[in-house]
């Protein structure tokens, strides 16, 4: 959430001083003017920088740690013999408007 210090206009929308604005990161990361075919997972995208860790002066302090944890975790899982497949149960999503993500995704490890 951000609060406007002064009257401001954002893309034709007038935001009066004192009003609160919620930036929807998930929506920004799927901006089709920036990311073609935004709902397709494409690990080779030319432009990979999204807004998941914020932007500007409040950019996430833990971004390097979070990226390292994800990279190490994925590298370890990918190096295991066998394969992973979705187990029968449907994935569970968190219900947050601001930070959408999986709460649980049931995976079976098959050797």
- The distance of closest approach from Cβ of residue 110 to ligand HEM in the complex, given in angstroms and rounded to an integer, is 28
Place of tokens 């935001």: 15
Name the phi and psi angles at 108, rounded to 5. -110, 135
Two structure tokens written together for 52: 């998941």
Applying CB under 6 A, does 65 fall inside the site for ligand HEM? yes
Count of CA atoms in the C-beta half-sphere (13 A) of 6: 1
The residue within the footprint of ligand HEM, chosen from 40, 58, 83, 89 (CB under 6 A), is: 58
Applying CB under 6 A, does 62 fall inside the site for ligand HEM? yes
Scan residues 37-56 and list those touching ligand HEM (CB under 6 A).
52-54
């Amino acid at each position: 959430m951000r609060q406007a210090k002064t009257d401001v206009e954002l893309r034709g929308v007038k935001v009066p001083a004192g009003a609160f604005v919620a930036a929807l990161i998930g929506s920004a990361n799927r901006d089709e003017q920036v990311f073609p075919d935004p709902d397709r997972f494409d690990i080779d995208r030319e432009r990979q920088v999204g807004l998941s860790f914020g932007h500007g002066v409040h950019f996430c302090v833990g971004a390097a740690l979070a990226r390292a944890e994800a990279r190490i975790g994925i590298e370890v899982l990918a190096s295991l013999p066998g394969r992973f497949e979705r187990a029968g149960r449907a994935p569970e999503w968190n219900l947050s408007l601001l930070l959408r993500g999986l709460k649980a995704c049931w995976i079976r490890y098959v050797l």
